[in-house]
Amino acid sequence: MSASAAVSASQAAADKRDSVPEIIAASMVGTAIEFYDNYCYSIASASYFGAIFFPGATKANPAIGTMLAFLTFAVSFLARPFGSMLFGHFGDKIGRKTTLVVALMTMGISTFLVGCLPGYEQLGVFSIIILCICRACQGVGLAGEWSGAALVATENAPANKRALYGSFPNLGAPIGFFCAYGLNLLLDTVLGPEQMQAWGWRIPFLCSAVLVAIGLYVRLHMTETPIFRQAEAEDRVVKHPLRSLLPYWKEVLLGTFAMGITYSLFYVLGTWSLSYGVKVMKPAFTQNEYLAMQMVSVFFFAIFIIISCLYADKLGRKTVLITATLCTLVFGIFALQSLQHNPFTVMLFLCVGFCCMGSLFGPCGAYLPELFPTSVRYSGAGLSYNLAAILGGAFAPTIATALVQATGTVQSVGWYLAVMSVLALVALFLIKESKNKDYTK
């Protein structure tokens, strides 16, 4: 092929793209399902799995039963790096579209099977083993989801709106949160605590099959991103993406630490605080009361994802992320004192926390992918994102529960958030501005 023909072919590949509504649907739907699945599991582990899968420990000490349930929650995070390497390899080698379809199927089947599992009384320790296997498979699928969805959005975006487009998959998080918590609130209201504990907890997991079917329809009708098609036309697709990622190990490591606080904050707000508010706080809230407060506060999460991305396009991703991390540091030091049996102060805690969360989470949809060239972007962004899930999220509910048990005060959780914020700030200052120029202009 002549040089002029090659240029024409690559330009034609870059020019063809989905419409903005199609981009929003394709990038957002899988992430919404991902977070719906994760939230359903976080609610179940905080409220039901201690008694179902660890009945002996729960009867002896409810806090120990909850911590053991939270450890099964962590299994998914530990599996994520393997999933990010697996799906990153194929996402950078054969394309974003096919890889995202397989990731969605892996995630959806695993979640559905959790809703079918017998408890400890039926299978003994094998019930825990099977639960952990399902959770690990869920983590593998989840690992391939966000990074691919972020690339679907940002690799279709004009340069001056890349952070805004990067918000599309991230907006799936509050949508998934609202669906998961809303369904659990509805079921808890209709069925009551006893029926939820007995069998009602299964319904949200089984309902995920409907969401997966919708997601598959959307994903199968999307086209490959113009950036990847252009890389194929110019023969820039590498055979061994993970090997080609090795020179970018600093970007992977610093991206991991920069995003660790995002996960810590999120699972302190969404998972640990639910368990604390319903089981430990004196007097405690009911499950319905606390879920309702969390559902209201998640709107602030969605709003600040958009606001932070608009400013990230104007001021730069790094500036917005540093500002948001500083705000989270202050939140960790001072806000945990408001977590007491007072609806106003708890709402203040949740709403301010989710404002910080949205500001942290929004820009990362553009920031992490921009650290890597097209040839290793799926692998690099995915590995950073999923290693951050282990660093910041895997054990956040367990650590927070253990800190309160050891110190007798929730302020210890605030200091935990403060430490994670400082680590993120150090990483953000060390990361150099991206020099990758192969995005669509």
8 Å CB contact between 120 and 53: yes
pLDDT at position 128: 94
What is the mean pLDDT of the segment spanning 306-334? 96
Residue 151 has pLDDT above 90, yes or no: no
Burial of 440 (0-12, 13-18, 19+ CB in 10 A): middle
pLDDT at position 16: 56
Query: Could you give phi then psi for residue 254, rounded to 5 degrees?
Result: -70, -35
- DSSP label at 316? -
pLDDT at position 18: 66
Residue 9 has pLDDT above 50, yes or no: no
- 402, 381, 122: which is closest to 280 by C-alpha? 402
Give the tokens for residue 422.
């400082």
pLDDT tens for each residue of 92-131: 888 888 888 898 899 889 999 999 999 999 999 999 999 9
Residue 301 has pLDDT above 70, yes or no: yes
pLDDT tens for each residue of 172-220: 989 998 899 899 999 999 999 899 999 999 999 999 999 889 888 888 8
pLDDT at position 433: 62
Helix (H, G, I), strand (E, B) or coil at 205: helix
Which residues, in sequence order, are CB contacts of 92 under 8 Å at separation 6+? 237, 238, 241, 375, 376, 377, 378, 379
- pLDDT confidence band for 229 (50 / 70 / 90): confident
Structural domains of the chain, ranges and CATH numbers in brackets: 14-430 (1.20.1250.20)
pLDDT at position 190: 93
8 Å CB contact between 259 and 357: no
The pTM of this model reads 0.85
What is the mean pLDDT of the segment spanning 349-356? 96
pLDDT tens for each residue of 270-299: 889 998 999 889 899 998 899 999 999 999
CA distances from 282 to 25, 52, 286 (A): 43, 24, 12
CB atoms < 10 A from the CB of 331, how many? 21
pLDDT at position 35: 83
Radius of gyration of the chain (CA): 21
What is the mean pLDDT of the segment spanning 329-335? 95
- pLDDT confidence band for 439 (50 / 70 / 90): low
pLDDT at position 7: 46
Over the chain, what is the mean pLDDT?
A: 88
| Distance of alpha carbon 25 from alpha carbon 10, whole angstroms | 26
